[in-house]
Structure 1
Amino acid sequence: MSLIDDFIENSNDFIAPSYAGNGSSFFSESDGFEPSDPVHMLETGFVSAGLAEDDSRIFTLDRVQFQFPAPLLAMAVSNEILIMALENNHILRIDLQQAHDVEDIEIPRKSGEIKIYKIFFDPTGRHLLITTEQGENFYIFEKWKRAKVLTKFKGIIIESVGWNKSAGSSSDTSTKKILVGSRNGIIYEAEIEPTDEYFKKEEKFCKQVYSLNENLPVTGLRIEQFPASPRKYLIVAATPTRIYQFIGNANSTADLDGSSVFENLLSRYESSPDFQELPGNLPYSELHFFSQYQDLHYQGVAKNFAWLTGPGIYHGNLVFGSQDFGDHVIDSAQLFPYPATPSETDPSTLVSEIPLSIALTEFHFILLYKERVRAICQLNDQIVFEDNIPLKPGETVRTMTVDNIKSTYWIYTDCSIFELIVTREDRDVWKLYLEKQQFDNALQYCMNAAQRDKVLTTQADYYFSQGRFLLSANYYAQSIVPFEEVSLKFVERDERDALRTYLLKKLEKLRRQDLTQKTMIATWLVEIYISKINTIEDLAASSASSEDTSNYKAEQRVLENEFKEFLDQFKGNLDKRTTYNLIASHGRTDELLYYATLIGDHDKVISHWIQERNYKQALDVLSKQASVDVFYKFAPVLMENAPYETVDVWMRQTNLNPRNLMPALLKYDHSNAPENIVQNQAIRYLQYVVQKLKNTDPAIHNFLLTLYATQPTTDESDLLKFLAIEGKEPHYNMDYALRLCSQHKRMQSCVHIYSNMGLFEEAVDLALKQNDLELARINADKPEDDETLRKKLWLKIARHVVEKKQDIKTAMDYLQLCELLKIEDILPFFPDFVLIDDFKSEICQALEGYNKNIEELKEEMEEATKSAESIRSDIRELRCRFAIVTSEEKCAICDFPLLTRQFYIFPCQHAFHADCLIKQVTKSLNTSQLRGILELQKQIEKELSNMNHSPDNAARARPPAQGGFDRLKGLILPEATTHSGDDVAVVVPKLDQLKDELDDLVASECVLCGELMIKNIERPFINEDENDLLASWAI
């Protein structure tokens, strides 16, 4: 069923519009084919492969139920938009996605004035050209309801249009530059852009660009852009007898200046047109193209073409490359004669009838005749479909039109429309290609595994019969022919290379779980490879010709590389022991080592090279290993035979544990090293470990120390450098180091170790014992924080110089080197009778120094006396400070007259009663401060009591300020007890001192402008002890 029928059946409620002339509706009331129409089918089709038969037809002719208000003159379908031109100069437009909506567009001319000749619809379904037999042309754009006249096209009867594919954008309404072929053989270039402005014309450009110089209609035009060269175009033009090719670059500035795009391209062919001529007297012709991506509903590059001519259908492929002017794009063109069929008058006579129209699918030609339609397969030239068109009496077939975007095919008469439905036309193409032995094409169109296997098996058998065994093996491996059968075929022919190829391909295709089969085939391949390599090697050795020898060796290298690739790919499918034995039995050492390396059996490879005494190769293999156990295993033998190279490898492996290498280092004997290797390699490696890798293992450090100490040399520089690097917190055992160095007479090192142990006296004594004064002096300065010890050590050095060396001059020099030593310190070491000439100046300098120190002490005492007198003077002045207070002055807290009670006044001029100030200050003091104030108050009471000798007098003598303490005392301290009186002369100064302390606590700063006021900012308005009162006011 066609697309229109499908929509009609689902639109029962739709009432088609009618016309006032005849009252007929656009759609008839019946659906589908009319039952009375006789349908005669001839479906020869493709012969089934016998694997999966499909009886459904490829081609089906379906009538579209539609009633026309006037005879149909022309029809076009593009992008599922169907256009019909009627004899009454009306244009009907139907969107096949909304088939019930039929748009009627009227041509702005009376029906008697013009007659529509042809219509041309662009592939996007947006631009429609209408040409008349009178040479008038009209244009309709997309949703327009009325056609517009193309005045610049007046007088041109259009026969064909070459549409521009670059005009497919929905945002661009222009047709871009198109080519128009006329009835008289002239090609025009034009551009049409729809506009809604009344005075603006749609045709922006219309110009004659080429003449075919033959008074025949241009029946076909096509513009194709080269895929690899956007500015290069192919233009194909056809007449009833000729087909032209034009190749060249388009004008790159045409879009900017509005000039012609194709004129320069076509003008190059004016003097020498490139065409193919097929003579005949057929008055009409058609040119069709099939796009490479037509099945994707996309305007791709044309893949092949078909040209309707008098002798037959001229068809071929289009191959785009680097062609230029004079070259051809049409390739493999051939003429297909029209099939001869029995004549209607005389069935015994075969007649070749020329079709009215043709269409081109991917694999078929569709031929339209006056009463029937045929489909012919392009691959075998056989008629695969033939159907009589069910015509009504007097009904005439017009032609055929194709929707190249949606790949639909339409036949129309003067009063009917038929859709030729194509269903899976490629389903049996594989078998046709197979019969033609075009195996690659056959595989491309296989639709299931059975078809594919049939093609592969046939292809493999074909190549086997031709003696092309390697190709045959490749395709047998892809088929499901039994493994044993194929293997025997190659074994019987003694085709070991083909068998190897087959086994390789088969091995690649086996499933992961087929472990046994994989192992068997892989092992078999190992044997085949090794045997083949040995055979070629023997041929090369026995060949008399040097050229043959080199050829054999080259072949051997290729085969060895191939074998290594095989081992690399399938090492997981081989049994290690079997493979070792198989390769070793043929004496293939290189391949054996390669296989061992692949499977990670590095022990075997290294052991082999060690047995061969090729330690360099052994180390090369070892250096590539990630496992440290391999290094430990072969360390002793490699360190013994190649110490320098071994240490180089170890130093590149930072993850080694040096403790595990100590057995090899202990076994190493540097005395057996070659003369060119001076440095002990064990020391070299341990130095690297300690200094570069920052190893802190005591065993390693002790071992390195041992190696340094036991070296057959008296030079201790390396050992001392090591000890210096270790620092004051060494990683070696210092007791062990001291014993070792003493045993091997490394006295400088012993001194260094004593020093590190803090035994500076022993270090200096040992240095002096060795008569190394410089070393002793260095160690004497080391106890920097203990001057007594330093002086003692320097005295040892001085005594040694004086008593042992009798060098008084040098002893005097030490007075300059150590500031702790004085001349009087070393004088006792001098002999009883000695001349003072050598140290007379030092004695004088010492006396002068003592005199200078005495003068400095006198100056300091005078300065201290002056400072004390100044302080006493300042104190006296402070006691005499005063402030003037008037009788109107008030307390800054209670606002009562200030002079009524004891008061305080501050430099800021704020004045307070003593009790008001104390009360205010105590609010901000903590408990400990309050206790301090009350303790002072208690002591003051005591002293006052002692002065008055009675409690009553003491109460009267108590100053009013004490009243501020009474309330505090009851809260913090128990009542003061009575004390016995003291002497008045002692009490008064003490009382003054207590009052000063109280002033420091209470009156150290003003409570209104001091730090206390700043702290009160954070003080809450309601104290914690008032919370109960606050709660009582809650509602």
Structure 2
Amino acid sequence: MTSLFDQYEQVYVKPKNNLNPVQLSNLGYINITMDQDTPIFTKSKKDFTPSNKITHAVISNKYMVIAMANNVLFRMNLQNPTEKSEIAFSKYTQNKLGNLFLDPTGNHLLLTFIPKNPKVDSPELMYLSRKSDKLKCTTKFRGNEITAVAWNQLNKSDQSTGLILLGTAKGLIFETEIVAEGDKFFSSSLEQYWKQLPNYLPLYSNREVEGLVFDIGKNTDTPITALEYFRGVDKCVVFAATPSRLYLFSGKNNGDEKLVLQQIFHKYLNITESETFIASESKLRYSRLQFWFGELPSKFTWITEQGIYYGEFDITKDDSMAVLEKKIKLLNYPKPPYEDYSKLPKYPLSIALTEFHILLAYADRIKGMCLLNEEQVYEDQYNEAFGKLVSILRDCKTGDIWAMTENTMFRFRVNKEERNIWSIFCEKNQFDLAKKYSKNNEVCYNQVLIKEAEMLFNQEQYQLSAERYAETQSSFEEICLKFIQVNQSDALKILLRNKLSRLKPQDKTQITMIVLWVVELYLTKLEEKRLEGLEKSAAYDEIQKDFDTFLTLQEVADCVRDNKGTIYELMQSHGDKSNLIKLTIVNKDFEQLIRQHIFKNNFHDALEILKSQNNYELYYHFAPILMQEIPKFMVKTLIEQGRKLVPLKLLPALVACDGNLHSLEAIRYLEYCITKLKNTDKAIHNFLISLYAKHNPQKLMEYLRSQGQELALVNYDVYFALHLCTEHNLTEACVELTGLLGLWESAVDLALKLNLDLAKKMADMSPDNDVELRKKLWLKIAQHVVKEKDDIKAAMEFLQQCDLIKIEDILPFFPDFVTIDHFKDAICNSLKEYNDYIQVLKEEMQDATDAADQVRQDIHAFRDSYMVINSYDKCEICDVTLMIRPFYTFPCHHKFHSDCLLSELSPSLGPTKKGRLADLERQLKTLNTQGNLDNVSTGSGVSAKEQVKTEIDNIIASECLYCGENMIRNIDKPFVEDYEYENVMKEWE
């Protein structure tokens, strides 16, 4: 049941929401009513009652430690409240507890004890591990009152604090590492490492030099009230605060924490101190410094008597106080509605920083203030029942905020503190940030865009303003009218284009209207430039490029395709021929445009459009008329297209050409197809021959020769070509074609009508293997020379040109009255040749007779030859005595047992011989078993057994195994067969 005090406390919480609610303008759509915002800060009392009054409290990583007035420490895990313990420190009653410091992990606690009588006792620093219930006294810091600790934010160990910094009441800074009992090495004290920063200069190596220490207090009573230490990827910074100064020290991060900190402070020994701090006049004995973290610290507040110093910090960039100071602004403390000037002002005792707000804890109340506009957004008073407000704490790990009074604790919840931040940034014209924090609220985001657009419009930045207006939900017509009134067509164009990109495909009417409007604006702008003579200028090119990009947009292309008639009219009204052509490219509407140009006799324009498109079927469609009107330019275009066109499909257009000029251009294209494109279509070649026959017979002969004399390889119809040439009386071409058909006699007859040399050439081209034909052809030529030309001298010279014809062959062609004197030399030469030939035959007959005699002598000698077989002779294969079994011997003196020779020779025999040999062996075996048949003779007087043996001998003993042809044929045969290789290798092993 809620107590009366709790009810009073809940009622007395006064959320301050002075930010004006969103006022929606008439934007052309239904207004959205926003519910009343819940307070940014709400608190809830926790079910916790300490055994005594709380004097000090710290919370980190959901772990709480409080000190009570009865000298007892209370520890509790806030995630698991049953995990709690109490530790008494009453034996230190001669000193009073000064402060508690808990590291970010919640594992390490430092306690500062201040002497009640400084003349008798000295300050002490105690350490308590989370895993221990025993306070342990440090030895190195006795006599130094620790007022601030900079914990190692990267440390995760529960045995060691890692490298930390300690600030004292006299402005000194120490670096140390405190290690629990389990991790200490050769040391009896808690401090694994301890050093005052810095205690030497690089000039003096490691030698300590008195006076060269980093001393902020300068031996005065100037306590360090806050100390923070952060490490980035390649940078390390240290913040130190006193009641009236905020120091910044930075240096490079080289990986070794100890060396890093030494380098940082060494650098500042030789730097003017004023460059390291900002000052704030203050009579207070304390100041408070707190950072807000993302992944790295990015914002901080420092409170002094003067107010709240608030700034943003980038650890990767800001490396000096001079840079940082420019980002810091001083905020006033929130004031009550009425102010009693007779009372001294009150200053906050502690703070809790969020991303955009700060909670200030006073003795009897907590106030919340927005850091961006200094407005108070929250106030909470605490009554006597809960005791005085001890502190407000922010868990640096979780971000949870806790308020501790003497008798209880409260938890604060932060509810969407960024909800109205957009409006603050908007008022400050920081629109990027305003949009960032309003992007989840369509209404707020729209207001930011409108205000930014209006500001840009008033600053005459019309194009940027148009971009922003396009994103809003404002009345489209009103915005367009604004830009029209100030004659800003470029800005209007940007507005329309951006609006177009935001329309949905189903908004056909709006899309059509905007596209036509934008096209009209572009065409107007381009026409103005052309009229000014700036068609070749960079500005014109830029507008044209932008227009081309616009036309390629999918929604624009679809709209233009559906309204191309209107677009064509617009472009024609502006005289924009080039864009009209480009538009046909976009819509692929070339056929209609080409027809229009042909209808107007603009054949060259039609050809240009034809060239600008990629539909090659249109070439075949319009080629006939363009070949008739502009043959030279059309052929040039066809040649430029090269292999993209099929010449066979263009043949109708070429055939339709009837004039001399047209035919010559057709020949030029056909020659290109044949020589460059290597076209082999017979129709193309036949048409070229027909054009050659009519207009250029000389080129016809060149063409026929280039095609060669192989009938199967020519690319034209030879009979068609022969018919054309006959029709046009092209005798030389007819000779060439008749010879190609193999009609050599007709070819020679035709050639003799035209040219004797041509006839000789044709006779010489006849088949070499048909001597009778060649002789017949040459006789035709000889007869023509003798009878037609009646030139005996030429006839005699003719005999020297052909070795197939003799004088006796041509004598019948001469008339009877011719005297022998004309043939004397020829007849003598012929008789001499016959005599020489008879002599050669005699010599060949004598050589043949001598060879036959030698063969007879060799046969007689071989019959009488013999070979001596010794008793110690062995078989060449098995190396066993030869005469123990049947054997063979050869003239080369190689000797083999018959069975050894058979087994060795069998694998190398062919399948036929091998089968026959096996059959003969079976027959011999059968005959051996039939002893009574051994003496039976065949019709020739030889027994069947002897006949089988003789045939076997003919197969296996026809030649020596080592010296015969069989050995040569098997020269590439391996010594060891593949299937025997493994067995042989094992035997060799």
TM score, norm. by length of structure 2: 0.74
Find the aligned partners of 1:280 and 1:489 in 2 and give their Cα distance. Answer: 55
Q: Could you tell me which of 405, 410, 418 is aligned with 2:402? A: 410
Deviations 1:878-929 (A, max 9, x none): 9x99999xxxxxxxxxxxxx99xxx9877788789xxxxxxxxxxx999996
Find the aligned partners of 2:127 and 2:691 in 1 and give their Cα distance. Answer: 106
Are the counterparts in 2 of residues 318 and 330 from structure 1 also a CA contact under 8 Å? no
Alignment of 1:202 with 2:206, yes or no, is no
The residue aligned with 1:53 is 35
Q: Could you tell me which of 345, 348, 360 is aligned with 1:355? A: 348
Find the aligned partners of 2:810 and 2:945 in 1 and give their Cα distance. Answer: 58
Are the counterparts in 2 of residues 728 and 756 from structure 1 also a CA contact under 8 Å? no
Q: Could you tell me which of 366, 385, 400 is aligned with 2:392? A: 400
The residue aligned with 1:280 is 282
Structure 1 pair 92–645 and aligned structure 2 pair: CA distance change class (3 A): farther
The residue aligned with 1:662 is 651
Structure 1 pair 188–277 and aligned structure 2 pair: CA distance change class (3 A): same
1:360-759 counterparts in 2 under 5 A?
A: 360-389=353-382, 392=385, 395-413=387-405, 416-434=408-426, 438-446=430-438, 447-457=440-450, 473-483=466-476, 499-531=492-524, 536=528, 562-569=546-553, 570-574=556-560, 575-603=563-591, 621-636=609-624, 638-639=626-627, 640-641=629-630, 643=632, 646-647=635-636, 649-666=638-655, 672=661, 680-712=664-696, 714=698, 718-724=702-708, 728-744=712-728, 746-759=730-743
Find the aligned partners of 1:722 and 1:962 in 2 and give their Cα distance. Answer: 80
Deviation at 1:737, TM superposition (A): 1.1
Q: Could you tell me which of 1000, 1006, 1015 is aligned with 2:951? A: 1000
Stretch of structure 1 that moved more, 415-424 or 278-287 = 415-424
Structure 1 pair 925–511 and aligned structure 2 pair: CA distance change class (3 A): closer
Deviation at 1:424, TM superposition (A): 1.6
1:67-216 counterparts in 2 under 5 A?
A: 74-82=56-64, 100-102=82-84, 111-112=92-93, 117-123=98-104, 131-133=112-114, 134-137=122-125, 152-162=140-150, 167=154, 175=162, 179-189=165-175, 196-200=183-187, 202-203=192-193, 206-208=196-198, 210-213=214-217, 215=220, 216=222
Structure 1 pair 671–139 and aligned structure 2 pair: CA distance change class (3 A): farther
Q: Could you tell me which of 931, 937, 940 is aligned with 1:989? A: 940
Find the aligned partners of 1:420 and 1:155 in 2 and give their Cα distance. Answer: 39
Deviations 1:328-387 (A, max 9, x none): 2233433222222378xx989887421111122112111111232221122332322222
Structure 1 pair 692–867 and aligned structure 2 pair: CA distance change class (3 A): farther
The residue aligned with 1:1030 is none
Are the counterparts in 2 of residues 317 and 330 from structure 1 also a CA contact under 8 Å? no
Deviation at 1:869, TM superposition (A): 5.8
Find the aligned partners of 1:752 and 1:723 in 2 and give their Cα distance. Answer: 11
Are the counterparts in 1 of residues 41 and 412 from structure 2 also a CA contact under 8 Å? yes
Find the aligned partners of 2:478 and 2:567 in 1 and give their Cα distance. Answer: 26
1:7-86 counterparts in 2 under 5 A?
A: 38-39=9-10, 40-45=12-17, 46=19, 48-49=21-22, 51-66=33-48, 74-82=56-64
Find the aligned partners of 1:642 and 1:506 in 2 and give their Cα distance. Answer: 50
Find the aligned partners of 2:123 and 2:773 in 1 and give their Cα distance. Answer: 130
Deviation at 1:687, TM superposition (A): 3.1
Are the counterparts in 2 of residues 74 and 84 from structure 1 also a CA contact under 8 Å? yes
Find the aligned partners of 1:809 and 1:493 in 2 and give their Cα distance. Answer: 109
Structure 1 pair 144–997 and aligned structure 2 pair: CA distance change class (3 A): farther
The residue aligned with 2:271 is 269
Structure 1 pair 742–100 and aligned structure 2 pair: CA distance change class (3 A): farther
Q: Could you tell me which of 304, 309, 313 is aligned with 1:314? A: 309
Are the counterparts in 2 of residues 773 and 797 from structure 1 also a CA contact under 8 Å? no
Find the aligned partners of 1:398 and 1:827 in 2 and give their Cα distance. Answer: 151
Q: Could you tell me which of 782, 798, 801 is aligned with 1:814? A: 801
Q: Which runs of 5+ in 2 are unaligned?
A: 23-31, 115-121, 199-212, 872-882, 890-894, 900-910, 967-989
Deviations 1:705-744 (A, max 9, x none): 2233334464656323442298632231111111223444
Find the aligned partners of 1:993 and 1:823 in 2 and give their Cα distance. Answer: 68
Q: Could you tell me which of 854, 858, 865 is aligned with 2:842? A: 854
Instruction: Classify the secondary structure of the residue corresponding to 1:837.
Output: helix
The residue aligned with 2:903 is none
The residue aligned with 1:783 is 767
Instruction: Classify the secondary structure of the residue corresponding to 1:689.
Output: helix
Stretch of structure 1 that moved more, 429-438 or 167-176 = 167-176
Are the counterparts in 1 of residues 229 and 239 from structure 2 also a CA contact under 8 Å? yes
Find the aligned partners of 1:413 and 1:808 in 2 and give their Cα distance. Answer: 146
Find the aligned partners of 1:826 and 1:152 in 2 and give their Cα distance. Answer: 141
Q: What letter matches 1:196 in structure 2?
A: D
Are the counterparts in 2 of residues 376 and 382 from structure 1 also a CA contact under 8 Å? yes
Deviation at 1:690, TM superposition (A): 2.8
Instruction: Classify the secondary structure of the residue corresponding to 1:243.
Output: strand
Instruction: Classify the secondary structure of the residue corresponding to 2:691.
Output: helix
Are the counterparts in 2 of residues 363 and 426 from structure 1 also a CA contact under 8 Å? yes
Q: What letter matches 1:360 in structure 2?
A: L
Q: What letter matches 1:198 in structure 2?
A: F
Stretch of structure 1 that moved more, 721-730 or 417-426 = 721-730
Deviations 1:463-501 (A, max 9, x none): 778887766654443333454565567678887666544
Instruction: Classify the secondary structure of the residue corresponding to 1:643.
Output: helix
Deviation at 1:240, TM superposition (A): 1.4
Find the aligned partners of 2:108 and 2:149 in 1 and give their Cα distance. Answer: 11
Structure 1 pair 652–385 and aligned structure 2 pair: CA distance change class (3 A): same
Q: Percent identity?
A: 30
Q: Could you tell me which of 241, 248, 252 is aligned with 2:244? A: 241
Structure 1 pair 719–499 and aligned structure 2 pair: CA distance change class (3 A): closer
Deviations 1:734-781 (A, max 9, x none): 111112234445444433323332223333444444335377346634
Are the counterparts in 1 of residues 160 and 177 from structure 2 also a CA contact under 8 Å? no
Q: What letter matches 2:16 in structure 1?
A: T
Find the aligned partners of 1:142 and 1:776 in 2 and give their Cα distance. Answer: 122
TM score, norm. by length of structure 1: 0.71
The residue aligned with 1:963 is 930
Instruction: Classify the secondary structure of the residue corresponding to 2:669.
Output: helix
Find the aligned partners of 1:829 and 1:90 in 2 and give their Cα distance. Answer: 154
Find the aligned partners of 2:141 and 2:709 in 1 and give their Cα distance. Answer: 102
Deviations 1:673-696 (A, max 9, x none): 9xxxxx954334323323443433
Are the counterparts in 2 of residues 755 and 779 from structure 1 also a CA contact under 8 Å? no
Deviation at 1:862, TM superposition (A): 3.6
The residue aligned with 1:220 is 226
The residue aligned with 1:763 is 747
Deviation at 1:114, TM superposition (A): 6.1
Find the aligned partners of 2:772 and 2:156 in 1 and give their Cα distance. Answer: 102
Stretch of structure 1 that moved more, 34-43 or 756-765 = 34-43
The residue aligned with 2:300 is 305
Stretch of structure 1 that moved more, 383-392 or 486-495 = 486-495
